[in-house]
Amino acid sequence: MTVDADKPIRPAATVLLLRDDPAPPPGVAPLQVFLQRRVRQMAFAGGMTVFPGGGVDPSDVPDAERWAGPDPDDWAERFGITREVAGQAVSAAVREVFEESGVLLAGPPGGQPGSLTSQAPLWRKQLTDHSVSLTQILVDSGYVLRADLLQPWAHWVTPPHEPRRYDTLFFLAALPAGQEADAHTTEAVEAEWWHPSAALAAFEAGRMTLMPPTLLSLRDLTGFATTAEAQDGCAARDLTPVHPRFRDQDGATHVILPDGSEHPITRAAS
């Protein structure tokens, strides 16, 4: 991953967890994404509304025997990174989604994840307090990590001026049938499903604070009507690492992406 001589850059993983609203408002596409508003006291992105995710942990070491779907080599090729980092990031993505939303992207070999067993709350607590690793949970449960439930979405690197820096792989995943996402995490004060257009409207109205990767991802999601469409769209995603550059114009800040395109991330002062 990216190396900075002044500040360490920690590898991280973020997941856009999607579902289709069974009864969307008239004229609104069914696609919804799970968003959490982080506790204001958090050292990174405090008070921000984000997708589930976090830094890679030393325990995020993939186990080939407890893995189903594209292997770390496949993910490394897709993102243009090392095999080691790719395997750790996928493991971290599954772990973080489970810790922060209660959704487990794992299940019996050859089967679908399905509804969670009565052991799931204990596993989640153990992961959160670092008393057990995801790999150990998979071994004890007989489950396999379902890497095939993830799709590559984006790759962002925190700017040098930030006190904490992350090199983050963004993934997309559909909510497994029979599972529900919740807000039972100490890292968020609230969490719920949002239609991307509604989240963007809340941002424009000043009711929601978003970081550039979240904001631009929500804008991209408005181009899809359903979860299946968004999953299919991942094949064409540009995964060039984004080292965001910013430019102010007429009171609004624009982020500049690797392809040279500029996107407003704040509103101009009225």
In percent, the amount of the chain with pLDDT more than 90 equals: 68
Question: Average pLDDT, stretch 189-204?
Answer: 92
> Do the domain assignments include residue 33?
yes
Average pLDDT over residues 194-207: 93
Select from 50, 33, 46 the least CA-distant residue to 197: 33
Domain extent at residue 124: 9-239
Answer whether residue 63 is part of any domain.
yes
pLDDT of residue 215: 92
Contact 189/39 with Cβ under 8 angstroms?
yes
Q: What is the pLDDT of residues 160-181, one digit of tens each?
A: 877 788 999 999 999 999 999 9
Any domain includes 158? yes
Asked whether residue 252 is domain-assigned, the answer is no
Taking residues 215-231, what's their average pLDDT? 97
Q: What is the mean pLDDT of residues 203-222?
A: 92
DSSP secondary structure code for residue 242 in this structure: B
Count of domains forming the chain: 1
* 268 within a domain of the structure (yes/no): no
> Averaged over 24-28, what is the pLDDT?
94
Q: How confident is the model at residue 268 (pLDDT cuts 50, 70, 90)?
A: very low
- Judged against a pLDDT cut of 90, whether residue 116 lies above it is answered with no
pLDDT mean across residues, the chain? 89
Element (H, E) at 9: strand 9-20
**Token reading at 223:** 């181009």
First-to-last alpha carbon distance for the chain, in angstroms, is 40
Residues 96 and 102: their CA atoms lie apart, in Å, by 9
Per-residue confidence (pLDDT) for residue 269, from 0 to 100: 44
Residue 2, in any domain of the structure: no
Q: What is the CATH number of the domain that holds 202?
A: 3.90.79.10
pLDDT (0 to 100) of residue 4: 46
Please check whether residue 189 lies inside any domain of the structure: yes
| Residue 28 belongs to some domain of the structure | yes
Tokens found for residue 233: 């769209």
Q: Encode pLDDT of 93-106 as tens digits.
A: 999 999 999 999 99
Question: Is residue 6 predicted with pLDDT exceeding 70?
Answer: no
Q: How confident is the model at residue 3 (pLDDT cuts 50, 70, 90)?
A: very low
